[in-house]
Amino acid sequence: MKAGKVKLIAVTTAALVLATTAVSSSQAATKPAPFSAGTVKIALVQNSGAGDYFQQWTNGAKKQATAIGIDMQIYDAQADNAKQATDMETAIGSGVKAIIVDHGNADTMCPGINKAIDAGIPVVVYDVDIRACAPRAVFTSQSDELLAAAVLAQAVKDLGKTKTVGYVNVLGIAPLDRRHIVWEKTKKAQKWTQKFFVGKFTNSVATDNAQLVDAALKANPKISAIFAPYDELAKGAISAVYQNKLQSKIKIYGIDISNADIELMTKVGSPWTATAGTDPNAIGAGVVRVMALKIAGEQKTNEVSFPGVLITAKFLKANKIKNMDDLRAKLPALSMSKAASAAWIPAVKF
């Protein structure tokens, strides 16, 4: 891919199904049951982290829920797996029609997910790989493998072979595990030498990982690039690079995009060279639409994957993009308004 260009990533794997439900125009004004009878109550059992990604995701989910006629009560464990499991139990007993699980740990959440489904409460899960332990739930995700492949293809073009690199990631989290697999394959194919691998997930991801990367850079300053496949990890890496005055020597490649990310990428002299992602607002809205279709009996598959785009710093600067609104204007495909939708589901804007 040429630097400065943006290429839509197509989902080609059969298992990654982008569900779109077609409804005839004669049915467009008619909501199916139970939405035809009034407001439907659901729960969002969330395990958010730091940064504006989760804020935007939840904003999109709220807007889409309101537009459909869903009363969505929100539980947020904020990086506490045990609390999320307790929140799930509370949601099951609260009389909701359905539950969305956003992020978290499969081992922690699968018992509650199966309990809900046994009780007749459908569950849609985002970015927790429950396919082995709770296959009756609907699994939704970004296409993490394709996002990682897109940004690492840009890194390969920029760097070439046999470079020394650093890596910042946290294993045991489903989307980061999927991105890790692509990193390992790319690193091997390009004969890159990985000088360090650090990372931890906390409620202050960027700040805490800045300290880890700072120590790693002091021990290994002569590297060409860092791959940090989550924007809060990338922010931590960037902070450490600036602290060590290596921004002119090290390129950073991340995943995810937000207002804060755009500001960092477009800063003069920024080492953040490229990222790949979806609009978090659109993803949150899309997951709610999947749930609405499930409740209405129109969601026919148990896997939905949302495609993303490659975004380079060069593209952002060339198009004078300052925030997500600017980016959506240049890339309307980010809205994904037709993904996992139906004629009776109103589109929302962010």
- The correct answer on CATH 3.40.50.2300 for the domain covering 144-277 is yes
Across the range 138-164, mean pLDDT stands at 95
What's the predicted TM-score (pTM) here?
Answer: 0.74
CATH T-level assignment (fold) for domain 25-142+279-306+325-335? Rossmann fold (3.40.50)
pLDDT at 19: 39
**Residue 17: pLDDT over 80:** no
pLDDT at 29: 56
Residues of the chain with CATH 3.40.50.2300: 25-142+279-306+325-335, 144-277
User: φ and ψ at 312, to 5 degrees?
Assistant: -100, 155
pLDDT at 85: 98
Strand 309-312 to 272-277 pairing:
antiparallel
Across the range 159-175, mean pLDDT stands at 95
Across the range 200-217, mean pLDDT stands at 94
Residue whose structure tokens are 């598959």: 301
Work out the number of other CB atoms within 10 angstroms of the CB of residue 71.
14
pLDDT at 27: 41
